[in-house]
Amino acid sequence: MKNEKEITLRGKNIPNPIQYFTDYNFPDYVMAEIRRQGYEAPTPIQAQGWPISLQGRDFVGIAQTGSGKTLGYILPAIVHINHQPYLERGDGPIALILAPTRELAQQILTVAQDFGSSSKIRSTCVFGGAPKGPQIRDLERGVEICIATPGRLIDFLEAGKTNLRRCTYLVLDEADRMLDMGFEPQIRKIVEQIRPDRQTLMWSATWPKEIVDVCQEMEKDTKLRQLLEEIMAEKESKIIVFAETKRKVDDLTRRMRREG
């Protein structure tokens, strides 16, 4: 199935993809909408993305536009929300979806409304270039899903019109495009207000290769050394190296000291 659908995976203990909607015990309210929309089978990104997302795991999903990405994260969001306590007065959204443009935000809203209505999940869309009044009203009435462009959301957070204290499900749609558009400081500012035990999903149609150098385990030390030497050749360099365990951090530190 993975080969036939050309799915490439990286990570540990990845659940198997599902082939049919019936392979997973989706709630009735989800299945009803899937039937109503006439979907026959999950797209590859849904087939693999749903089992991962529904386990509450963090995830980067890359698939072409038109491959069902939106439903890829909306459906688990709805299942997630239905497992949380109801919103109380003054609570902010449980699921936050950040998108780079108003057009994309509005497209996502349609999917969220279609699939959320049967279990009474409310969604709203928050973006610049439109009157703030109606958007504020929605937020103050309470919405489980907020779809937002970063700038307008920050305005509302700073004005106390909403908050992210209940947010446990975060999606960055077109993640790399948001970074290309210079949204990184805004995204950081927003994410700092969300609790660290949230689930984070990044979705994109492309993922710039130059960010990642995938290498074999035994190449890592040499590559790291080369990289450090190159960076240190520039003046005033500060470097952060992330490792998986405390032991690895100690090893690396010892080795770097030894090599001066």
Q: What pLDDT, on the 0 to 100 scale, is given for residue 209?
A: 65
Which DSSP symbol is given to 143?
A: -
Q: Does residue 52 sit in helix, strand or coil?
A: helix
214-225 mean pLDDT:
86
Q: Note the pLDDT tens digit of each residue in 102-117.
A: 999 999 999 999 989 8
pLDDT digits (tens, 9 = 90+) for 139-195: 999 999 999 999 999 999 999 999 999 999 999 999 988 988 899 999 999 999 999
Give the domain ranges of the chain. Answer: 21-208, 213-258
pLDDT at 7 over 70: yes
Question: Among positive and negative, which fits the CA dihedral 152, 155, 158, 160?
Answer: negative
Class of domain 21-208: alpha beta
Question: What pLDDT is attached to residue 4?
Answer: 56
- Residues above pLDDT 90, as percent of the chain: 56
Q: Is 91 exposed, middle or buried (0-12, 13-18, 19+ CB in 10 A)?
A: middle
Q: Is 145 exposed, middle or buried (0-12, 13-18, 19+ CB in 10 A)?
A: buried
Pairwise CA distance, residues 160 & 151, whole Å: 14
List of residues 6+ apart from 168 with CB closer than 8 A: 80, 84, 94, 95, 195, 197, 198, 199
This prediction has a pTM of 0.77
The pLDDT tens digits for 41-75 are: 899 889 999 999 999 999 998 887 777 889 999 99
Per-residue pLDDT band at 84 (split at 50, 70, 90): very high
207, 62 Cβ separation under 8 angstroms: yes
Distance, CA of 189 to CA of 7 (rounded, Å): 33
Can you count the helices (H) and strands (E) in the chain?
10, 6
Q: What is the pLDDT of residue 52?
A: 92
Query: What is residue 210's predicted lDDT score, i.e. its pLDDT?
Result: 64
Instruction: From residue 49, give the alpha-carbon distance in Å to each of 14, 52, 153.
Output: 10, 5, 27
Average per-residue pLDDT in the chain?
Answer: 90
Q: Which range is most confident: 34-48, 184-198, 218-232?
A: 184-198
